[in-house]
C-alpha cells in the first residue's frame, strides 16, 4: 500500500468548466491522480483534451470548480514559487542577462541575502552549463541554451514541484534530443519532483517514473502506467523491448482517445504528427 506521505501533489476529483452559464464546456471532469515525491510524472493525451488546463490548475493559475488540489498536504489556492511552470514559449526577459534573469525572482521577493543569492545563482548556472554565457542576453543564446536558462531561473526558487509544459516543443530535432539527454541527467542527479507534460510519447517514456494518459475532453485519467526502466537511463533504451511495450500500449490508448475527439470535431495535429514520426 502506498503511503500518502509519498505524494508531493494530489489531484482529487477535480472538475473545471469554462464559458457562460448558458454555453458552458467542461474541460476537466473528475480528474484524480497523485505526483510522487522526488519522481518525474509525465502526462500525455490527445490534442485539445485539456493538458494546458491541467497545467494551469496544478500551478494555481486556475481554480477547480469542484474537487481539490493539494501540494505537500496543503490546498493550492493560487500561484506560488512552490509550483513553478516552464512553458514551451520562452519567458526570459530580453533586456536582462542570463544571470539577471536567473536571479530576478529572488531579488524581487527579497528573500535571499545577496551573498547567498550569488552563490546559488553561480551554482545553478554551472549546473545547466551556462557559465560562459552568464552575461549574455537571451537573443545571444541558442534555443537549447534559452531552455536551460529557463530551468535555472525556476530551480533557484527551490520549488516543491517543477511543472514542465511541453518545454522542448519547437526546438529542432537535434536540439530537442540534446535537451532530453540533459534534462534526464539533471533529474537523476537532483531527484526533484517533476510533472512533465508532452505530446511526444517516447520523450515521456524515457524521462518518466510514471505516466498518466489523459482521456479525450472532458479529460480524466484514462490510464496510469508505472515506467520501470532501469536508471540511469539513456535515449538508446528506447530501443529496448520494455520501452517498446510501454510505447505500444500507450499508443493504442492514445489512438482510441484521438479517434473519439475526431468524432467530436476536435483537431489532433500534434498527436498525429508525433504518431507518424514514431511509427
Are residues 213 and 133 both part of a single domain?
A: no
Query: Among candidates 160, 126, 84, which has minimal Cα distance to 118?
Result: 126
* DSSP track, 139-193: GGS-HHHHHHHHHHHHHTT--SEEEEESTTTTS-HHHHHHHHHHHHHHHHHH---
Average pLDDT over residues 82-105: 93
Average pLDDT over residues 114-131: 93
Average pLDDT over residues 235-254: 95
Strand extents, DSSP E, the chain: 7-18, 25-36, 40-44, 66-71, 74-75, 83-86, 161-165, 194-197, 210-214, 221-226
Last residue of a domain, one of 136, 158, 180: 158
Are residues 69 and 204 both part of a single domain?
A: yes
- For residue 37, pLDDT over 80 is answered with yes
Are residues 271 and 171 both part of a single domain?
A: yes
Range of the domain at 117: 92-158
- For residue 235, pLDDT over 90 is answered with yes
Are residues 231 and 256 both part of a single domain?
A: yes
- Residue found by looking up cell 521577493 in the block: 109
Question: Is 166 a domain residue?
Answer: yes
Are residues 175 and 144 both part of a single domain?
A: no
- For residue 190, pLDDT over 50 is answered with yes
* CB-count exposure of residue 194 (10 Å: 0-12, 13-18, 19+): buried
Last residue of a domain, one of 158, 192, 213: 158
Question: Is 87 a domain residue?
Answer: no
pTM of the model: 0.89
% residues pLDDT > 90 (the chain)? 74
Residue 183 φ/ψ region, left for φ over 0, alpha for ψ in the -120 to 50 degree band, beta for the rest: alpha
Are residues 167 and 201 both part of a single domain?
A: yes
Residue 278: what pLDDT?
A: 52
- Residue found by looking up cell 510519447 in the block: 201
Are residues 97 and 69 both part of a single domain?
A: no
Q: Which three cell numbers stand for residue 262?
A: 475526431
Last residue of a domain, one of 158, 176, 209: 158
Which sign does the torsion angle of CA 137, 142, 143, 146 carry? negative
Are residues 171 and 72 both part of a single domain?
A: yes
CA distance linking residue 205 with residue 14, whole number of Å:
25
Question: Is 76 a domain residue?
Answer: yes
- For residue 22, pLDDT over 60 is answered with yes
Pairing of strands 221-226, 210-214: antiparallel
- For residue 209, pLDDT over 90 is answered with yes
Are residues 112 and 249 both part of a single domain?
A: no
Question: Is 250 a domain residue?
Answer: yes
CA distance linking residue 58 with residue 71, whole number of Å:
9
Question: Is 102 a domain residue?
Answer: yes
Average pLDDT over residues 222-250: 95
Are residues 120 and 240 both part of a single domain?
A: no
Question: Is 20 a domain residue?
Answer: yes
CATH code of the domain containing 252: 3.40.50.300
Question: Residue 23 gets which letter from DSSP?
Answer: S
Are residues 40 and 173 both part of a single domain?
A: yes
Beta pairing partners, 84: 162
Over residues 249-270, the pLDDT tens digits come to: 999 999 888 887 666 554 455 5
- How many domains does the chain fold into? 2
Question: Is 100 a domain residue?
Answer: yes
3-state DSSP: the chain helix, strand, coil percent, rounded to 5? Answer: 45, 20, 35
Are residues 126 and 189 both part of a single domain?
A: no
On whether the CB atoms of residues 163 and 58 are closer than 8 A, the answer is yes
Question: Is 131 a domain residue?
Answer: yes
Amino acid at each position: 500500500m502506498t503511503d500518502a506521505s509519498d505524494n508531493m501533489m494530489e489531484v482529487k476529483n477535480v472538475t473545471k468548466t469554462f464559458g457562460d452559464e448558458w454555453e458552458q464546456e467542461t474541460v476537466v471532469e473528475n480528474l484524480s491522480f497523485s505526483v510522487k515525491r522526488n519522481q518525474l510524472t509525465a502526462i500525455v493525451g490527445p490534442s485539445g483534451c485539456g493538458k494546458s488546463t491541467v497545467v494551469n490548475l496544478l500551478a494555481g493559475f486556475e481554480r477547480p470548480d469542484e474537487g481539490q488540489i493539494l501540494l505537500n498536504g496543503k490546498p493550492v489556492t493560487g500561484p506560488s514559487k512552490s509550483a513553478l511552470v516552464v512553458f514551451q514559449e520562452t519567458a526570459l526577459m530580453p533586456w536582462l542577462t542570463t544571470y539577471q534573469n536567473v536571479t530576478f525572482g529572488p531579488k524581487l521577493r527579497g528573500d535571499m541575502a545577496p551573498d547567498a543569492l550569488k552563490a546559488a545563482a553561480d551554482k545553478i548556472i554551472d549546473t545547466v552549463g551556462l557559465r560562459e554565457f552568464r552575461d549574455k542576453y537571451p537573443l545571444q543564446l541558442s534555443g537549447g541554451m534559452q531552455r536551460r536558462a529557463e530551468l535555472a531561473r525556476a530551480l533557484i526558487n527551490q520549488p516543491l514541484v517543477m511543472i514542465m509544459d511541453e518545454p522542448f516543443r519547437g526546438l529542432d530535432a537535434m536540439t530537442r534530443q540534446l535537451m532530453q539527454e540533459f534534462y534526464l541527467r539533471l533529474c537523476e542527479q537532483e531527484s526533484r519532483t517533476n510533472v512533465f507534460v508532452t505530446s511526444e510519447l517516447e520523450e515521456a517514456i524515457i524521462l518518466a517514473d510514471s505516466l498518466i494518459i489523459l482521456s479525450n475532453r472532458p479529460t480524466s485519467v484514462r490510464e496510469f502506467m508505472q515506467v520501470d526502466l532501469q536508471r540511469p537511463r539513456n535515449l538508446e533504451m528506447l530501443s529496448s523491448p520494455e520501452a517498446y511495450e510501454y510505447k505500444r500500449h500507450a499508443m493504442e490508448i492514445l489512438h482510441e482517445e484521438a479517434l473519439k475527439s475526431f468524432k467530436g470535431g476536435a483537431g489532433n495535429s500534434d498527436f498525429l504528427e508525433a504518431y507518424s514520426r514514431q511509427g
